[in-house]
Copies of this chain bind each other. A is one copy, B any other.
């Protein structure tokens, strides 16, 4: 399971080293896609297959309008990139994905169960701040939904 928060550098060659704790689970190749809430998602190949299957499944339970779904899939698939992890555990973050979330200098690398998220470090700090304030509230809400 991918968990934890790490702050790493993105250098001028767009290289970013992955936390050692993630490397075993990620293997030697990953899929980087635009994520939601202004971050990037990194999936293992296996996880990506699961995700993409469910996204393209025509009779899945996703309550998407067809048009919405098409455009969402373009967003996810059209800009997904598979990247090799180099011999010392770094990935190359494509320029257009970097730009998309305003990455430069420092990145926050977050393990979220089955995926890794990459954030502009400042954006992450802000997001965390807000999330924390809402956390109790949220936990309670989720708790109630289960009833």
Contacts and interface: CB of A to CB of B under 8 A. Distances in A.
B142 A72 contact: yes
A79 interface: yes
Nearest to A136: B36
A56 B112 CA distance: 11
Given A3-B78, A3-B80, A5-B78, 9 more contacts: A5-B94, A5-B96, A36-B64, A50-B61, A51-B61, A68-B141, A72-B138, A73-B113, A79-B128
Contact of A75 (B1, B21, B135): B135
Contacts of A21: 82
Interface in A74-107: 74-75, 77-82, 94, 96
Contacts of A67: 36-37
Contacts of A134: 71
Contact of A77 (B68, B113, B136, B138): B113
